[in-house]
Chains A and B, each alone.
Chain A
Amino acid sequence: MAEYKWPPMEKRRVMGKRIARLDGPMKSSGRAKYPSDMNRADLLFGALLTSPHAHAKVKSIDLAAAKAIKGVTAIRIISGPGTEIQWAGTEVCAVSAITEEIARDAVKAIKVDYEVLPHLVKEDNLAKVGARAKAAGEQVTGDPDKAFADAEAKTSGDYGIPVITHCCLEPHGSVVAWGADKIDFWPSTQAVSTVGGDLAKMLELPATQVKVDCQYMGGGFGAKFPADRWGAEAARLSKESGGRPVKMFLDRATELTIAGVRPSHFAKIKVAGKKDGTITGWQSESWATGGIGGGGMAPLPYVFTNIPNRRMNHTQVSLNTGPARAWRAPNHPQASFLTCSAITDFADTIGMDPLEVFLKNVAVSARPETYKKQLAKAAELMDWKKKYTHGSKKTGTLRRGLGIGIATWGGAGHASKCKLTINADGTVEVEIGSQDIGTATRTCITQVAAETLGLPMSAIKVKLGNNSYPPSGPSGGSTTIGGVSSSTRKAAVNALEKLFEKVAPTMGVAADQLEADDSRVVAKGNPSKAMSWKQACQKIGPTPISEMGENEPRVAAREGLNTQGASGIQMAEVEVDIETGVVRIVEVVAVQDCGLVVNPKTAESQVAGALIMSVCSALMEERITDQTTGRVLNADMEFYKLAGLPDVGKLTVHMDITPEHDARGIIGLGEPCAIGGVAAIANAAANALGVRVPMVPLTPERVLAALANRRNA
């Protein structure tokens, strides 16, 4: 049985090192070609006609004028007469044409007659949603009534976090060509190995016929797993246009309207506890929407899951708005914001430093010791003890405050297969049906292979982004790094064993007594007995060594290469101008564990990116719908506000790299670091102002309203 376990921390030469991402120069110079960059002479352009109504029935569609436009190659009806449209932006027709302009002209020429039906597109006021509310049941643990009756201190607060979108820089879409015996599919995807099967199913074709390639993609955040209706329609348009490739990417407005949202979450939360900060009771009445399907309850209370006495009621609200999709840590940022806000308000009310209250109550979390250490580390980096003062003690026009957010996540590796080939000339190739969604997956796979084979990274060629390679799971749930690192490790170990068998006779050393190190094959414990990598590979002969490695989630934990359970603490310092309500980020600190860290540099980069997303969500991001027209008013990048560099402030990232965490194996990182920031920033603003701003994003109007409410109280 081969030995796969990771080499000890102190012996690693490539893993654990701060390596810049290999494709950085390609991306920053524009040489990296994304699916939306594809351009070829025979390319056709697809465009969608979408519903202007949030709720309507399609009565009739007249294509005659559109068909008469020269240059139109195909028109398809997606939502035919009789279809009930449930959100504005729903795809009604698709057109392909020889230019993008003609495709858009043809879309304009299609006449659709709708029967307009009543719609609801707002849920911030639960009293106004009427029959769209659906109770999702009550959960009770312990005796919350008694806990509240006996409590030394009680608080009650209203909190809300709105629907936001993914706002991917590269919108959803693909280029697709329906050829005689295969479909070539170039999607912007997070799921190279599964999206082809998804398309095949929609087209009722054998999965074998869809060839997928995606070398680079411009952001997904959980919204880019399926082939999508527009992908399937692009394929059909291609078929009807003689197999010419059709490029169909959503325009910005459609991207922000239908390509996925993060559900909102609102809650009235009551906390009961002792004056020493111990929380004894929790009651929440919450509601949420993710579109027509409603919105489930976030995991409340978050992290502090074992508060002894709890009552949770949740209501799902169905809206005529674009549907939810996974958004980097589904439901966790909302849960963290709601929970950490309520706990901070409890701390404020009893006059305790929230840091002390968090430290006291992590006892009811799943990983008390880890959180205690991380809280202490984050507090040290933030200089919390020196800076913190109670919100009631702030003076002046510009007021600073501190806040805490907490995170938990799984992040075990997904199913992944990897093929590693060693050729007689010493070259090494890794093939894996995974994708690099911007997280440096290519770089990390290269590090793992180089580490295992004792070679420099430049000796390894990694091929991914194509479904002809051994399958690997979609990049969702922070499962990629664990999956691909483990399968790559195993493939490399397996291939090395074969190589050792080939060279053992020449070296006069048993195969299991050989190791690869520093571009050599060496006898264990006798470094003078060695062959260079090149010499060793010459023994392979004409047929290359090609071995598979597999990460199987059911047995992965036992093997110890990857596991789950990431924890993180984020702290923010903000400065609020109390005359204008403008909130500015001073600093955000993140302390994050994710087990064995393959590449601290790219890991830190990923956390920094998550902090920027948190700044956006805490201060700016909000989908604004209009109840009269039923439409999204800010489906653009002008009023759908995202942070620019001056808005971000200082970002301090501390990867919690310790022998204890390292021994757990690899854990995913993408999601856990994108959870606590909103809570930290909202709590920092509450501390600066001495009053809770109930809803994020913390816009000037919300901040000023909270201050006015306090004056009036």
Chain B
Amino acid sequence: MDNFEYANPSTVKEALSLLTAGAEVLAGGTDLLSLLKDEVHKPKRLVNIKNIKALGGISKAGNNIRIGATVTLDELASSQLIRAAYPSLVQAALGITSPQIRNMGTVAGDLCQRPRCWYFRSGNGLLNKSLVENGENKYHAIFGTGSAQFVSASSLGPALMALGATVKIAGADGKTKDVPVAQFFKAPSAEGEREIALAANEIVTDILVPAPATKNATYEVRHKQALDWPLATASVALRMSGTKVTSASITLGHVGPTPVRATEAEKMLVGQTITADSAEKAGAAAVAGAKPLSQNAYKVQLAKVAVKRALLTAAGVKAV
């Protein structure tokens, strides 16, 4: 890796002033360090934000629960506030079955991490359509956008999206903005574009999750039980009236360049009771638009099952 400057600010303002051209934010570093070692990223400066106290902590904030950007995955999964209201976030965080990574990795870092596509990581670019389509694509997208066929690596993104969470971003001009998680992720259409709506001179400061009024769950399919990237995940949040669904939010993970909202499945569930049958049908609807590549048709089945099992888990029905 190339040499770089290391900055250690204690305020967001100071951090933003350090994020000049070629600088990057360092939080847990669980992804960034590997990007540096593989020379996929070559920053001139790393700005460590872990010493900024304002970026930590989980608290109630009006109708929201506020999760600080540098809250670790372990803090998230251990938080009583989170455990009481958002099992889907806890399940997503615990799907990262490495205590080391949960201890170091941060919530915002999980959202901002780069894709694991092996062509990207070996220096062949993020949108190398020809390599992916003609090559080894079993871990790639079944909801690709044409140009982007990698999968978003975020574990928390789908759950936060299903919960209707918002990302708070501080910019260089001192202004802050709130971006819904659904808009925070985006599929790049040109090489060099990022897959998140965060400029290089901006910092995620908080994640705001609406007050819980839902039954929610995440189901993840992994090849290994030990640390491994999910093959497909589904996060769901259900508003209920008695046993009937009044509104459903379903997001698939690791199947597209962004978390993928399953709107048809959501509509279908309104007015329904969650049963093995309705959950199965919702799963099928969620993957109806999938366009698998040469080696990853199996992920369609996995995504379908993940939706079914997430719905059953959220509704308190035995999933398997």
Contacts and interface: CB of A to CB of B under 8 A. Distances in A.
Contact of A700 (B135, B227, B229, B298): B298
Interface string A615-627: 0000110001011
26 contacts: A398-B320, A579-B301, A579-B320, A580-B301, A581-B302, A582-B223, A619-B223, A620-B224, A626-B119, A628-B131, A629-B135, A631-B122, A633-B118, A634-B118, A638-B116, A639-B139, A643-B224, A644-B97, A644-B225, A647-B226, A699-B223, A700-B231, A700-B298, A700-B302, A701-B295, A704-B301
Contacts of B295: 701
Nearest to A581: B298
Contacts of A626: 119, 131, 135-136
A645 interface: yes
B220 to A, nearest CB: 10
- Interface range on chain B: under 10, 10 to 19, 20 to 34, or 35 or more? 20 to 34
Interface in B246-305: 295-296, 298, 301-302, 305
Interface in A632-652: 633-634, 638-639, 641, 643-647
A645 B97 CA distance: 11
Interface string A309-331: 00000000000000000000000
B193 interface: no
A629 B298 contact: no
B122 A633 contact: yes
B228 interface: yes
Contacts of A647: 224-226
Given A638-B116, A700-B302, A701-B138, A646 B320 contact: no
Contacts of A397: 320
Contacts of A699: 223
A700 B223 contact: yes
A577 B222 contact: no
B75 to A, nearest CB: 23
A172 interface: no
B226 A582 contact: no
Q: Interface centre among B130, B296, B305, by most A CB within 10 Å?
A: B305
A580 B305 contact: yes
Nearest to B301: A704
Nearest to A398: B320
Contacts of B228: 641
A624 B296 contact: no
Interface in B137-181: 138-139
Contacts of A645: 226
B134 interface: yes
Interface residues of A, number: 32
Given A634-B118, A639-B118, A644-B226, A580 B135 contact: no
B314 interface: no
A641 B223 contact: yes
CB-CB nearest 8 A-B residue pairs? A644-B226, A646-B225, A701-B298, A633-B118, A579-B305, A704-B298, A647-B225, A580-B221
B221 A643 contact: no
A704 to B, nearest CB: 5
A705 interface: yes
Nearest to A577: B320
B124 interface: yes
Contacts of A646: 97, 225-226
Interface in A563-595: 577, 579-582, 584
A631 B123 CA distance: 12
A554 to B, nearest CB: 47
Given A398-B320, A634-B118, A701-B298, A629 B225 contact: no
Contact of B135 (A398, A582, A628, A638): A628
A627 B135 contact: yes
Interface string B213-240: 0000000011111111101000000000
Contacts of A624: 136
A137 to B, nearest CB: 33
A258 to B, nearest CB: 16
A626 B116 CA distance: 16
A644 B118 CA distance: 22
Contacts of B229: 638
Contacts of B119: 626, 633
Contacts of B320: 397-398, 577, 579
B34 to A, nearest CB: 8
Given A644-B227, A701-B295, A705-B298, A633 B136 contact: yes
A321 B269 CA distance: 51
A54 B247 CA distance: 54
Contacts of A639: 116, 118, 139
A397 B131 CA distance: 36
Nearest to A702: B298
Contacts of B97: 644, 646
Nearest to B300: A704
A701 B222 CA distance: 12
Contacts of A641: 223-224, 228
A71 to B, nearest CB: 13
Interface in A678-699: 699
Given A582-B223, A631-B122, A700-B231, 5 more contacts: A633-B118, A634-B118, A646-B97, A646-B226, A699-B223
